[in-house]
Amino acid sequence: MMKYSSVVINLMLGVCLLFLIQSCKDQKGPGIENEEVTSNSDRETEIRSTIEDLYTVYTKSDLKWVDFYNAEYELASDDGKVYKKYADSLRIEWEDIYSRYDVVLRERGEPIIDLSGDQAFHYNSFDELFINKTTKDTIENIGTWIVLWKRQKDKSWKIEFETYHAQ
C-alpha cells in the first residue's frame, strides 16, 4: 500500500511540475497574440462551465465528452510513464466500455482549479460504478482525476494532459 501511495504522490508532483513549467512559458500561448485580455475571473468561469458541460455529457454515457479532449493529448499512467494518446482512440475504447457496462457517476468532488494564462489545472474526486450489462456485477471506481486544460484559438478549452488515481 505504501509503495502505491508513493507512486501516486510522485505522479501528482510530476503533474504539478509540468503545470509550473508550462506556466513559465509565454502567458498568451501560440495564436492568441492579438486578442483582448480576459481576466482570470472570466477564464475561471469559462473553465468551470466547460468542466460542468463535460460532466453533464459524461453522466449520460454520451461519448460527446470525448470532444473535450485535444485530438492528441498525454496521459500519465500509474507506472509513472507519460503516453501520447488520441481522442479517436479514446472514443473507440469507451464505445467498447459502454457496450458492456452501464456507467454511473455516483458522486464527484468540486473541481479545484488553478489558472495560468491560457492554461488551467484542475483536479477533483470521483466515485463511479461500472455495472456489467449481462451479469449485473459491479466494479466500483473511486479516485482523483487530474487534468491540464489549454485554451484553444477558438477560445474553447481542451484537455491536453490527464492522469487519475483510482483505488
Residue 52 lies in a domain: yes
The one-digit pLDDT tens for each residue of the chain (167 residues) are: 334 444 444 455 455 444 444 544 444 444 444 344 568 788 999 999 999 999 999 999 889 999 999 999 999 998 889 999 999 999 999 999 999 999 999 999 999 999 999 999 999 999 999 999 999 999 999 999 999 999 999 999 999 999 998 88
User: Could you give the number of structural domains in the chain?
Assistant: 1
Task: Provide the whole-model pTM.
Answer: 0.77
Question: CB–CB of 151/29 below 8 Å?
Answer: yes
Can you give the residue range of the structural domain that contains 17?
A: 2-24+36-166
Residue 29 lies in a domain: no
Residue 59 lies in a domain: yes
Domain of residue 156, CATH code: 3.10.450.50
Question: CB–CB of 55/145 below 8 Å?
Answer: no
Residue 98 lies in a domain: yes
Residue 143 lies in a domain: yes
Q: Distance of alpha carbon 8 from its chain centroid, rounded?
A: 16
Residue 31 lies in a domain: no
